[in-house]
Every structure is written in C-alpha cells, then in structure tokens.
Structure 1
Amino acid sequence: MNHDVLEEDMLRPATRSALDELTSVPGAPPARRPAALRANRTVRIAIVHDWLVTYAGAEKVLEQIIACFPDADLFSLVDFLDDRSFLRGKPVTTSFIQKLPFARSKYRSYLPLMPLAIEQLDVSAYDVVISSSHAVAKGILTGPDQVHVSYVHSPIRYAWDLQHQYLQQSKLTSGPKSALARLILHYIRNWDIRTSNSVDGFVANSEFIARRIKKVYQREAQVIFPPVDVEAFSLCTEKEDFYLTASRMVPYKKIDLIVEAFARMPERRLVVIGDGPDMEKIRAKAGPNVEIMGYQPFKVLKDHMSRAKAFIFAAEEDFGISVVEAQACGTPVIAFGKGGALETVRDLSLSAPTGMFFDEQNADAIIDAVGRFDDHAHQFSPAHCRRNAEQFSAANFRERFFAHVRASVPALRAAKLPPYVPYQAQPGAQAVADAPRILAVDQSGVLGGAELSLLEIVKALRSRIEVVLFDDGPFRTALAKTGVDVNVLDAGALRHVRKQGGSLPKGQALKGLVSLVRATAKRARNVDVIYANTQRAMVIGALAGKLARRPVVWHLRDIVSPEHFGGKQLAIIKWCARFGLAHVIANSAASARAFADLTQFDSKRVDVVFNGISAEPFDALRAVPRAALRERLNLPQDAFLVGSFSRLARWKGQHVLLEAMVLNPQMHAVLVGAPLFGEDQYEIELHAFVAAHNLGERVHFLGFQHDIPACMCAVDAVVHTSITPEPFGRVIVEGMLARRPVVAARAGGVLEIIDDHENGVLCTPGDAHMLADTLAELRSNDELRERLVRNGYQTALSRFGTQSYVEGVARILKGVAGR
C-alpha cells in the first residue's frame, strides 16, 4: 500500500461505500463507517491465510494480494514453507497448531481445532482484514470498527457438497470413526455459517464459487478470477499432432479417464505430464499411443503445452489454472463442462472460440469430444486463445482486487495501486528459505568476533530464527535492529565462569545453570534445531536439547586446546560432544582438527564453514579521504599507522606490537579494543609498558569502537599478533576488505586465509623483531603493499563472503533438523 497517498482528507469516510451497496437493506439509512478509520493515521491491514505449507493456486492469489498491500502483516494457522519468496520476506504470525506434535506433516489432522485456532489469532489492532480462505481463514474474529473482506477459493468443500466423496476416499463410510468424522464436519458446517456473518464482503474466484457462497452462506459475492502467470507463457501458432494433459495424479483430476479414452483411440497420440498416488493405476490403462512422462520441470511442461494440438481437462475445478495456461500458449482446450472451466473457455457457440466441452466424466464422452474437436479444429485460432487468457493475468487481478478493497474501505478511497515490482530474492535466498526454525544461543552481550559472525546469520535468517542471550549489551541492541526476537536470560553466577579454568559451578552457579537450561528448553520446543554460538551456550544448549528433544549444532569458534581452555572446561566439552551434540560447524580446519583430537567426534558430523564478512561497510568508505577518518578519530595525519583490532587480552598479543614499536621509531600503533572478560590487568600492563618506554605520543588507545571499518580505513596496515593459534582470524579478512596490507601470526586458522607475501605476510607468533622488520618492509615497499591489497581484497570476496557463509550454515542446520 502506498502510504504517501493516505492524506488527511482521504481518511474522511465517503457517503456510501460499495460494501454498503452490497449489504444494505433498500430504504434503510446508510451505515456509518467506523470512527477508527476516520483517524488521522495510516490504515493498518492484516492478511489472513489458512495455512502456508506449499506454493499452489491459493498461494498464488495470496502473492498478488501481498503485492497490492505490501505493508500488510500476515497471519496463518501454520507456516512450514520452504520457498518463501512469494511472501516477499514477510514474517508470519501463526496459531498454536504450529507448535503441536507432527504439525508440519499432519496439520490437516488438526481440522477439529482449526476454528478455535483461527479465532485465537489477534487482528484487533488492524483497520482492514483480508482473508484468503478455502477452509477457516474467513472465521478470523473482527470487530464492528474493522472491515473484513474475504477472498473465498471455496467454502470448506469436504464439509459441504463434497462431504460424502471425502468420507468415501478416506474410508470413513461406516463405523465409530465415520460417526466421529460426520459429527466433526457437522460442527464445522455450523461454525462456517455462523462466522460468515462477520464478513463484510465476499469475493469469489469464479461464478461457480459465487453460487456455492450463495448456496451455503446466503450471501452475494463479487467475482474476481484468480491470477494466472500468463506472461510466463508465449503464443505458439505451430501445433503438432498430439494431445496433452497435465496434472497431479489424484482421483478427482480424472486423468485415468483421459488415458482410458485415448487407449481406445490408437490413431491419436496423448502425452501425460504429472505424478501422484494414481500413477500406477494410470500406467496400467495406457496404450502404446500414450506417453506418460511423470513429473517434469516447468520448461518441459511449457514446451509441450505450446506445441500440443489441444489440452484435455476432465476435472471439476473451482477455476482451473492449467486451462488458462494452455490458452496462453495459443492451445485450445477440451474440458469437462462443469465448474470453473465454463468461465475460462469459450466454446463454439461464442465468437472467437477457444475450446469445447463434454458433459459427462467418462471415457465415451471424452472420445466423442475429441472426435468433434478434430472436425472443428480449423475454427480455433491460437491468437483467440491467447487473447482470452490475458483477461486472467496477474496484473488484471491486482487492479480488480485493489479496486474492490478500496471501494469497500472509505479511508482507502484515494489510495493508488502500488507499482508492481518483481520480488528479487537476495543471494542465497533459497538456502535461507530452506532453513528450519532455529533457536540461536549465545552467552555474550558484547560485540565480539563470534557475535558479529552470528549477526550475519541472524540478518539473513531473521524470519526463521530467534535468539537467546545470557547477558545484555550492545549485541542485543544490534540483534533487535534486525527485527529478530531476542530474549535475555539471567546467567547469574555463571557469567563469572571462564573458559581458561576455575571451579565447576556450585551453589548459586549450579542454580543458575538449571534455570538457564529450563528457560532455554522452553523456547527450544517451538523450533526445529538449537544453534549454539559459543562454548558456554553449547553446554546450556546440549542440556536443553535433551529436555526439549531438539538436535543441537555447535558453531565452534575456538581451538579447544590447553592454550585456550582449562582442563575442566575441556572435560565438559568432551562430555557434551558425546551427550548432546548432533553436529559441529567449525570456523576453520584448525578448529575442527583440535576438536576431533579432543573428542574423537564422528568426522562426518563436523563441517568447516569459514566466517562470512560483508564488504559493504568497507566499500562505502572508499570515497572518504583517509585524512577525514583520522581527524574524526583524533589520529596523526602524517604518521605510518599500524592498527590492532581485537579485545585486549594477553593471548591476542598486543604487547608484541608495542615491543615492535620500540624497535621501529618511524611508526605509530593504534589499539582498537577493550578488555572484556576480566582482563583489565592486562590493559594496565600495556599502559605501563607505553609509559616506561616513552611511547605515549606513538601509541593510541581508542578503546571499544562501533565503526571498525572506519578505524581500519584510517590506518596504513593491519596487524594480527596472537601468540597462541587463532581459530580463524576475522580481523585479517576485515583488513583485506578495508584494502589494507595485513601482517599476521603464522598459526591456527590464519594459515587458511593468508598465502605468505601474496595476500598478506606471516610472522612467527610472539617475535617482535620479525614483526618490526616486516612492518618496516611494508612501509618502504610500495609494490609489496599494492600486491597484498589487491590480492587480499579478492581473497576476502571470493572465499569469505556472507553468501557462502550463510548458505553453508543454513544447509547444515536444515540437514540436522531433517534427520
């Protein structure tokens, strides 16, 4: 919806709406439109759909309704979509059925609960409610100050005129189960009629469905045909000597009758495209002249539909999209003369005919119709077929539906249909769409390397993920800005436990552990997989996973060795690996090897996925002069600045850089970072070293900084000085993206990023003399700097981009959740 056109004057109600004309009694005074819609504010719209489990006809209608009102919020009983692109990235509010056992595959079994479930979805905050209903969506509860427009694909078929067919197909014609089913359907019918009274205006997808609505609800309905992607098909005037039918092979489609008819017409060729439970039954009836191709991709279907002499359609459908698609190719249709086909095919009694009908669903009627078609084939023009199909285009649907809603809602009278912009999925969107529902767990509230990496995952998967933190801070704020659901749990005394060692939690710490596990398990019951981002989060996640019966994936971002962890912590990691981990994602091969050596974990359940780092914030600074960045950070303009970017911790080796500064008086050091986990004493030691060696004018402590790209682009070189093996080395990739030469310690995951003197320079960990010499060479060698910058940037883009990172993590989480 275009909010720019919703000015104050358009929010005044019209004297009489189209909806009033549909529902008012002749001679009665016109109804007053609710005061809520006269308020000076944006009109709020909710769209309610029955269930989101696939992309079929009803979902194609929903897609175009969303295109008409792109700012509307979505509601549905359940949301188990894989491909979510047609929702344009919108989140969906679901009912309690979403969380019930086996809901993903057995949601239809919860039919008795669906009326209750749809009534629990709260849309009271909206001015306009649009329901897209073939089951219970039209039963959403609305108030007297709300306008409810319901696009009805059909009243609940299996509760009304198709009840007996449904019971027969479900083998529920007799016995206690049959009695229960009939009782439930009776209750559904009563509820269906009662809730029809709360709909202000019905829209039907065909005259056939409008008659059903009149029969069942005693209400008139505006007919707006569903959208067909006519543009996806092109006119073909050259036809070949074969007939085509294409459909899912289920009983009511009557594909078996078409095949049986052609088996009795050996002189005519039939091609069948589709798959389904009736496949073997249909194959058994096929003769040599019938080619059954099974499921085929759209390209193959389109090709055959374009070349076919005619398209055969034997089902009684509410509308029948494939009938229109065939005509969009210029292919005439031979269809059963009942249901929606009567409204989409022009027979020989009309000008510009596009097809013919047969009156009974049996092989004899189909044989007779095909014979008559051959006699009159010269009367069908591909151009006429195409022209007839174009009236059912998606663009036509959007125009008509938007106009209908606008006429029904006085506050929208001056609104304009927003221009249609095809949805462009972001890179990796399919992997994101395929992701299961995820609970991400992290122990920290600060923005460390692990948290920045998780932030990239959350940005991409925000419609599929919720986050639990054990501490508050800037990380929670950054997550909240993405729109993701974030819960901060109180870690209590556990926040003082460090990975380097210490006593196992006792007393209050143990109480905190139990509390965190229970709270995490409670949230995990609503998801498919737990994704632990840090070591402490992994321990809580492993225990919570057992309680909630959910698999746990640990994103390992550490080298689990005595240099990084205490003995008791290593023992806990080994125990958790055996007890509660389904899979491990390692941020480097070095991390994976150390974990395997420690735990003997199954190598098939360990994958290496390099961290992904976005180039956008670095590329955005390319036009900003370095002098401006230095002025902003209060750094000297003419000095050769060497930047260190990490928290202040002894193993990160900032003291090695300071020792190199003593040896190299032509350079300045810039230290970006602060002590985070009880490492304040180390910061004091660094300042004492600076004072003792008179480095105060050449060493610049910037502390914690939010804008790391700006800080990196302000320096001349980036150094990584860890004295123990680094699991990955995010700073190295960031330095490459900043187009700065990088010098790093030769150990751990760093070796998987840097090729010495090609895209960076490697030094011996802890060797200040070698570091000083390397930095001196960089300062004097323009050719070396340019080569490192050029190759480093390409390395960062090609190997450590966010797309491959997100796709890798999403793929693994999906695989684990599906086991």
Structure 2
Amino acid sequence: MNHDLVEEAALRPAARSGLTGPVLAPAVSTPVAAVRTPQGAHGKVRVAIVHDWLVTYAGAERVLEQIVACFPDADLFSLVDFLDDRTFLRGKTATTSFIQNLPFARTRYRGYLPLMPLAIEQLDVSAYDVVISSSHAVAKGILTGPDQVHISYVHSPIRYAWDLQHQYLQQSQLTRGPKSMLARLVLHYIRNWDVRTSNSVDSFVANSAFIARRIHKVYQREADVIFPPVDVDAFTLNEQKEDFYLTASRMVPYKKIDLLVEAFAQMPERKLVVIGDGPDMQKIRAKATPNIEIMGYQPFAVLHDRMRRAKAFVFAAEEDFGISVVEAQACGTPVIAYGKGGALETVRDLTHPQPTGLFFAEQSVESIVAAVEDFADNPRRFIAADCRRNAERFSAAHFRERFFAHVRAAVPKMQGASLPAFDAPPADTHVPSANTPRILAVDQTGVLGGAELSLLEIMKALRARAEVVLFDDGPFRTALDQAGVTVNVFESGALREVRKRGGSVPKWAAFKDIVALVRAVVKQARRADVIYANTQRAMVIGALAGRFARKPVVWHLRDIVTSEHFGGKQLAIIKWCAKLGLAHVIANSAASKRAFVELTNFDSKRVDVVFNGISAAPFDALADVPQATLRALLNLPQQGFLVGSFSRLAHWKGQHVLLEAVVLNPHMHAVLVGAPLFGEDDYEATLRAFVVNHGIGDRVHFVGFQNDIAACMRAVDVVVHTSITPEPFGRVIVEGMLAQRPVVAARAGGVVEIIDDGVNGLLCTPGDAHGLADTLAELRANESLREQLVANGNRVARQRFGPGNYVASVERILKAVAG
C-alpha cells in the first residue's frame, strides 16, 4: 500500500490531586475480562500474524493495527522489528528473522531483499491454526501446512519486481552495467518465488479492486476487496470552504505534483496550496508561480486545517488506494483526481446521485486544467455532507467488521465467533507470564508524583513477580501496600536534599548515605533478575548496586536530561552511570530519548520509547456526577469559566503564566491544584503575592494537594499545561483528555507527541501569557471547538495511552534484558 500523506503528528505533573470529604464514586472499575482469540466448537483458535517489516507506523502498519485489534491474542512475526513506539501493536513484539541481526539492518534492511524469501521461510508458524499475512513484499511467502488456513491481506504484489521494475531500475540508476544485470537477476528470482508462494495462500484479500486485478494478473487468483482503514474520526467536517485548492503528498515523481503546479501556473486566478516534502521539492518550487503556495512539510494540525478549508483536493497520482483522497472527503472537501487506480473506488463522480468529486482522464497539464475549470464552473454540485458520508465507508470500525467476517468465514473453527470489543482495556487484569523476570523496582521518593503513578500501574500488574524499594516513606508506599505490592523503605538521609540542579549536601554525609543505600539495594537484588530504576537518584543507586550484585539495570527515563532541567554535576553523573551499569533505557517520549542519547552517546538501539499508560477507570466512574457537585466539594464558584492547572507548584511548571493570562482575561478563573514539594515554597508565596497585587483573588483558587485528580479535572472547564521548559511527557494532558475536558498545552518536549494542534488539543508558545489568554478566550466562545477537542482527545487517550499497552511493553523489555 502506498503511504501518501505527509503527516506526523505528541505527557507529567508531579503533584496529584484528590478530594477530601464525601466519596463521590469508587475509584475502581468492574474488572474487564481480557479479550481473547475467538473460540469455536473445537477450542481456542491459535492465530499468527506475519508482517513484512516493523520499522515505522505508516499505511501498511495502520492495517496491521486493526488486524491485531481483531485478534488481540495473536502472536506477531516479521523479518525485522525496530519499532521505538509499539503502542499501535498493543505492546506486542515480533518474532524476527536472521536479518534482524545482520549489519546495518535497522537502516538498510531493504538492501537484504535477495535474502528476504529465505528469511521469511525460516519463521516457524507451524503451531498455529490460522496464519494472517499482511504483505506488500514477502510476508505472504510464509510456509504453512495443509491443516492451516493462510489468509493474505495484500497491499500490493511486489511492485518493484513486477510492473514497476523498469521505473525502479531507472530511479536507482541501474539501467546498465554489472550491477544492473545483478539487480535484474535478483528481481527475476523474486518474481518466480512470488508466483510459486502464492499457491500456499488459501484466501487473498486486496486493499482495492485495482490491487485485486493486479493479484489476478500476477497470481491468477481471485481476491476479496476490503478497503484499508482510514482514521476518518481524526478529520472533522467543515461546510464553509475558502477560495483555494489543496494537494498534499510526498514529492516523488509518480505523485505528479509537478504536473499540478504547471497546471495551476496556467490558471493565475486560482490559488493552489501544496503541502509535502521530498526529492522533487526544488524542481517543484522552481515551477511555482505567485498563485501557488509551497508550504513544505507540515504537521498534521496544519494539514487538517487546510483540508477542511480547501475548495477541493487535487490528486494526480495513480495509487493503489489513496488515503489522502478519503481524508479530504472526511473533511467535506470534494476531490479532483486522476481517473485511474484506487481513486475510482473512493471518489464518486458526477454519474452518482451524491457525487464527491470528478476525474481527469490523463496525467497531463491540459487534462488537469480542464477538470479544475469544470469544477469551478459549478462547485455547488458537491455537498460537504455527502463527501463525509462517503468517507465513512472506509472507517477503521468498518474494516474490522469486514476483515473479521472474512476470516471467520474461511476458518471452520471460528464459526459463531464474535469480533472482540476494540477498546476493552486489559490493564487491570494483566497477568504476568511464566517467564516474567523477578523485578526489583527502585524509586527515590514516597511522594505520589507522575513517575510514581506510572510505576504503580506496572507494579499492580506485575506484583506477583516484583517488589519495590523506596528511599523515602509517604503516600506512594501506602498506595503500593493497598495494591498488594511488597515494599521496603530505606531512608536516603542527606541525599534527600540533592536536587536536579544540584545541592549543598556535605560530601562525607552524601558518601556515607550512598554506601548505605547501595548495600541495602544489593541485598534486595539477590532475589531479583533485573533492577528497574524509576527515577534519576534511584538510577544512580541502582547502577552501582547492579555492578555489585551482577544484575542488569533498566532505567525508566522520565526526564529530558538537558541543562534546562539538570545541573552540570547531575548531567555528568548520568553520563557516568550510562557507561557504568545501564543495560537498557525506557524513555517516556521520543524527546526524552533524543536528549539522553545526545548527552551520553548511549546506543540508541538500547533505548525504547514507551508512552506512559493511564487508566480511564477513575474518570469513567465520575461520568454521571454533576459538575456542580464537584465544584461544591472543592469550594469553587458554580458559575464562571474555570481553567485548571494540575501539577506541583514550581517555577518551571509555569503557573505564573496562567495567572498573567487571568489578568488579561476578565472572564476566566484559574484553579491551581497542587502544592510546592521540593523546597519550592518561595514560588507559592510569589504566586499568592501576584494575585493580591493584581486584585484577582476572587478569580484564582488555590486548592492545594488533592488525591482525586479525576474529580478535580471534571470540576473545571479546561485543563491547561503551562510548563515553560520542555516537558518529558505530560501525564496531565492525557488525564485531561480522559476527563473529557479540552486541553491547552505548551508546545515543547513530549507534549507535541500527544497533541495534534487543533485536533485533540491546542498548543501555545511556552511562557506566552497573551497567546494563552487568547486561546482560552477562543475556547470559551467556541462550543463546537470544545466538543471536537474533547471527542478526539478522549479517543486518542484511550487508544494510544491505555495502561494495557504500557504494562505489556515494559514487561517485554524487562524480559528481554533479564535474558
């Protein structure tokens, strides 16, 4: 399948909150049974899913994501697996081939094409009843037996070995010479192998009728058509169109962006906006005239905004399917497309009673100009709501229903089986497997901060194989006790005064306390297979203890290790520990990973990105509690637009920016949930003095430390995140989404890995009080925008940041490190 959109999209406060007083609702949910692979009359059906390679999240991987959702207990196989974020796979890791361990495989796996047929045949799936291959290269060549059902979802037969061979050789500059001859021999071998292995497939599924015809041409086999899933819910309908046309794609030759630019150059009265980047960028820029805006690569929020407002989306490529064409229609935007390939199946032309676009017959400037002129003569022929309804035929839910039904019909054991619920969270019922290692988790504090809440999720799930060491007592120890986790507290003494920015602890006192802590952890580690350090001070002690106890150490990195957050001595210690005793690092965002690798030169292959997992249960438990009840319990005004900040009171968390915005916006109240923790009492005093000096005491509410974050968030109208330096993750953002409140956050660090600006939240410049005030004023006035952000935010939080994926990913890494 072609991956045709240029789109990429992007969470932590330390103090949590909780209501004192009457209990509103239980903070636990009814246990949800883990979704299992469907069973028929003959017992459990064992399913294996085979994918070509796992290196990114693009079009083929979107299909794989939905196949995994249909069969959540299936095992996964792939030639290579180099994913950093495997959230979309529900934390699964793949059994890989020998190519995984070949030199430069992470970046140059395609260069091993001659070995791929052999490699895919070495993957052993003989223990499974059903084998599902997701194939655009060699996955369909997996070896299966006569008692197994092999269903192959084909994105395309190997295009560069079949009809695009000559184009591939030309682009690779392999048209003549010895290398060309070798390449042609390899492709000839691949073609023969490709045809032969098609005989082992029991049922073909194509992503379009266009690909079904290609399958018939190449393999002489029929294929059912199930269109690939498009995330139409991420795109919102807009019926008010503006006077410009849009195209968006990777700038490569077959996309024909240059033809579109040349065509609009001949229509100076019509504006074209071009989004995308690629090898042809300079050539396309050179052809652009003043009526053509070349925007280059843009994040998803910008793409979404232009798609919603464009008069029409123009598309000149011959695609197998064409996701962008469907996404444009999901925005209510009609399409002007080349009348060949997948567009013929996704766009309804003027012969349909509810048309969603029109076609041009040739990939030529003249044909494009004629089609645009035809569209411009009467754009009222196309109704935005009709475009949206057409796009909904390609939703992910529709894909799951059709694909599961196809598999069920092909597998006798599955007759009568039902499709598993898509969003059933497995987190609270996670059972560690027999080979889960014995884990010693180490944390530096007893305070219930964001890092500790994230560790709590893991320990609740893995408590049968884990125990925790804390360097301080407090609410975190109580929470672990209540969850049935074994806890030991070893006082940190003078080390308690050490801060990220440094401290004035006497050297002898620090040395003595370090020795004591290391000895205590070494003693506990003798019963463990792996030491799992959750915070920076815990990592230092853990790294030393790991050397003495001869145990591997995994650090769960929850900070951006730069001079903005850490002092020079602390950064030097982190570099030293990375070399001394870290076997692996789990980063809570790509931003955290980048900073750590840049600081330490640590092998990036030994750093995995795992987004924090946050349970929706406390938020769901309050779904029927009126907001007025929650406000009364917190002594908040019943009327007014309440904006909530949820974190410890610290300068870098930026609560002062929110107060400055309150001064600028007289219709807004600020609710500050949290307290100063690490010697930051002076900052709270500064905030209170600012409130008094500016006369906003009636609109600023300090509610202090609270335990019930869900109740506090549902009491306000908007959740804000105002950190003035990059946040490693931003847990409060996901919590706000689960509380079904619109979220406004500072554009930096891991935050941009959670929020698509304008889609599931809004982003502001860090430290910009005027920008924050304007954004909040817009939210207050725009109810439809608030509803859109809430719906999209809640969906993203549940799908991408559920605790099930989080726990499974961490458990997988600890297993691998423990060996």
TM (normalized to structure 2)? Answer: 0.53
Paired with 1:411 and 1:81, the residues of 2 have a C-alpha distance of: 33
User: What pairs with 1:511-522 in structure 2 (closer than 5 Å)?
Assistant: none
Shift of the 295–423 alpha-carbon distance from structure 1 to 2, 3 Å rule, reads farther
Shift of the 450–367 alpha-carbon distance from structure 1 to 2, 3 Å rule, reads same
Q: Which runs of 5+ in 2 are unaligned?
A: 1-32, 429-436, 460-464, 469-479, 481-513, 517-529, 531-538, 558-571, 586-597, 603-611, 619-676, 682-703, 709-720, 722-726, 734-749, 752-819
Paired with 2:389 and 2:257, the residues of 1 have a C-alpha distance of: 27
Paired with 1:534 and 1:274, the residues of 2 have a C-alpha distance of: 45
Amino acid at match of 1:357: F
| Residue 183 (str. 1) matches residue 185 (str. 2) | yes
SS in 2 for 1:369: helix
User: What pairs with 1:430-449 in structure 2 (closer than 5 Å)?
Assistant: none
The residue that corresponds to 1:130 in the other structure is: 132
User: What pairs with 1:781-796 in structure 2 (closer than 5 Å)?
Assistant: none
The residue that corresponds to 1:310 in the other structure is: 312
The residue that corresponds to 2:67 in the other structure is: 65
Q: Quote how far apart the aligned CAs of 1:554 are.
A: 12
Conserved in 2, the CA contact under 8 Å of 1:152 and 1:204?
A: yes
- Of 84, 107, 112, 2:114 maps to 112
Q: Quote how far apart the aligned CAs of 1:420 are.
A: 2.3
Paired with 2:545 and 2:369, the residues of 1 have a C-alpha distance of: 72
Paired with 2:270 and 2:706, the residues of 1 have a C-alpha distance of: 65
SS in 2 for 1:398: helix
Conserved in 1, the CA contact under 8 Å of 2:81 and 2:93?
A: no
SS in 1 for 2:200: coil
SS in 1 for 2:131: strand
SS in 2 for 1:534: helix
Q: Quote how far apart the aligned CAs of 1:615 are.
A: 13
Q: Deviations over 1:213-243 (max 9, x none)?
A: 0011110000011111122222222221111
Paired with 1:237 and 1:157, the residues of 2 have a C-alpha distance of: 38
The residue that corresponds to 1:289 in the other structure is: 291
Paired with 1:187 and 1:532, the residues of 2 have a C-alpha distance of: 56
Q: Deviations over 1:507-544 (max 9, x none)?
A: xxxxxxxxxxxxx9xxxxxxxxx9994336448999x9
Q: Quote how far apart the aligned CAs of 1:107 are.
A: 1.3
Q: Quote how far apart the aligned CAs of 1:206 are.
A: 0.5
Q: Quote how far apart the aligned CAs of 1:4 are.
A: 7.5
Paired with 1:339 and 1:62, the residues of 2 have a C-alpha distance of: 22
Paired with 2:728 and 2:577, the residues of 1 have a C-alpha distance of: 31
Q: Deviations over 1:633-675 (max 9, x none)?
A: xxxxxxxxxxxxxxxxxxxxxxxxxxxxxxxxxxxxxxxxxxx
Conserved in 1, the CA contact under 8 Å of 2:34 and 2:425?
A: no
Q: Quote how far apart the aligned CAs of 1:82 are.
A: 3.0
Q: Quote how far apart the aligned CAs of 1:164 are.
A: 0.5
SS in 1 for 2:44: coil
Amino acid at match of 1:273: I
The residue that corresponds to 2:543 in the other structure is: 534
User: What pairs with 1:766-805 in structure 2 (closer than 5 Å)?
Assistant: none
Paired with 1:615 and 1:321, the residues of 2 have a C-alpha distance of: 31
User: What pairs with 1:143-154 in structure 2 (closer than 5 Å)?
Assistant: 143-154=145-156
Conserved in 2, the CA contact under 8 Å of 1:127 and 1:147?
A: yes
Q: Quote how far apart the aligned CAs of 1:132 are.
A: 0.7
Paired with 1:4 and 1:614, the residues of 2 have a C-alpha distance of: 21
Paired with 1:387 and 1:281, the residues of 2 have a C-alpha distance of: 37
Q: Which runs of 5+ in 1 are unaligned?
A: 12-37, 427-441, 463-471, 479-498, 502-519, 521-529, 546-551, 556-572, 587-602, 608-612, 620-751, 757-789, 812-819
Q: Quote how far apart the aligned CAs of 1:804 are.
A: 8.8
Paired with 1:69 and 1:181, the residues of 2 have a C-alpha distance of: 38
Paired with 1:87 and 1:578, the residues of 2 have a C-alpha distance of: 32
Q: Quote how far apart the aligned CAs of 1:390 are.
A: 1.6
- Of 327, 330, 334, 2:329 maps to 327
SS in 2 for 1:51: coil
Aligned residues: 503
Conserved in 2, the CA contact under 8 Å of 1:5 and 1:416?
A: no
Q: Deviations over 1:102-133 (max 9, x none)?
A: 22211111111111221122212211111111
- Of 245, 248, 259, 1:257 maps to 259
The residue that corresponds to 1:192 in the other structure is: 194
Q: Quote how far apart the aligned CAs of 1:579 are.
A: 12
Shift of the 217–451 alpha-carbon distance from structure 1 to 2, 3 Å rule, reads farther
Paired with 2:362 and 2:549, the residues of 1 have a C-alpha distance of: 65
Q: Deviations over 1:174-206 (max 9, x none)?
A: 111111111111111111111111111000000
User: What pairs with 1:479-628 in structure 2 (closer than 5 Å)?
Assistant: 533-535=542-544, 537-538=546-547, 581=580
Amino acid at match of 1:301: L
User: What pairs with 1:728-767 in structure 2 (closer than 5 Å)?
Assistant: none
The residue that corresponds to 2:421 in the other structure is: 419
Shift of the 792–86 alpha-carbon distance from structure 1 to 2, 3 Å rule, reads closer
The residue that corresponds to 1:102 in the other structure is: 104
Q: Quote how far apart the aligned CAs of 1:399 are.
A: 1.0
Q: Quote how far apart the aligned CAs of 1:304 are.
A: 1.2
| Residue 56 (str. 1) matches residue 58 (str. 2) | yes
| Residue 299 (str. 1) matches residue 298 (str. 2) | no
Q: Quote how far apart the aligned CAs of 1:84 are.
A: 2.2
The residue that corresponds to 1:157 in the other structure is: 159
Q: Deviations over 1:288-343 (max 9, x none)?
A: 00011112222221221122111100111000011111111221111111110111
Paired with 1:269 and 1:554, the residues of 2 have a C-alpha distance of: 50
Paired with 2:425 and 2:253, the residues of 1 have a C-alpha distance of: 35
Shift of the 579–310 alpha-carbon distance from structure 1 to 2, 3 Å rule, reads closer
- Of 56, 80, 83, 1:81 maps to 83
Paired with 1:162 and 1:614, the residues of 2 have a C-alpha distance of: 43
Q: Quote how far apart the aligned CAs of 1:100 are.
A: 1.8
Paired with 1:233 and 1:348, the residues of 2 have a C-alpha distance of: 24
Paired with 1:339 and 1:231, the residues of 2 have a C-alpha distance of: 25
The residue that corresponds to 1:271 in the other structure is: 273
The residue that corresponds to 1:563 in the other structure is: none
Conserved in 2, the CA contact under 8 Å of 1:269 and 1:289?
A: yes
- The CA RMSD measured in Å over matched residues stands at 5.3
Paired with 1:578 and 1:389, the residues of 2 have a C-alpha distance of: 52
SS in 2 for 1:131: strand
The residue that corresponds to 1:375 in the other structure is: 377
Conserved in 2, the CA contact under 8 Å of 1:314 and 1:336?
A: yes
Paired with 2:91 and 2:216, the residues of 1 have a C-alpha distance of: 36
Conserved in 2, the CA contact under 8 Å of 1:553 and 1:581?
A: no
Shift of the 239–222 alpha-carbon distance from structure 1 to 2, 3 Å rule, reads same
Amino acid at match of 1:182: R
Conserved in 2, the CA contact under 8 Å of 1:241 and 1:309?
A: yes
Shift of the 120–474 alpha-carbon distance from structure 1 to 2, 3 Å rule, reads farther
SS in 1 for 2:50: strand
Q: Deviations over 1:58-99 (max 9, x none)?
A: 111111111211221222112222332211222222222222
- Of 208, 212, 215, 2:214 maps to 212
Conserved in 2, the CA contact under 8 Å of 1:118 and 1:139?
A: yes
Shift of the 326–585 alpha-carbon distance from structure 1 to 2, 3 Å rule, reads closer
Q: Quote how far apart the aligned CAs of 1:167 are.
A: 0.5
The residue that corresponds to 1:693 in the other structure is: none
Q: Percent identity?
A: 64
Q: Which has the larger radius of gyration?
A: 1
Paired with 2:369 and 2:426, the residues of 1 have a C-alpha distance of: 46
Q: Deviations over 1:335-393 (max 9, x none)?
A: 11111011111122232221111122122221121122223423222222222212111
Q: Deviations over 1:560-585 (max 9, x none)?
A: xxxxxxxxxxxxx99x9699559999
- Of 390, 393, 396, 2:392 maps to 390
SS in 2 for 1:391: helix
Conserved in 2, the CA contact under 8 Å of 1:346 and 1:353?
A: yes
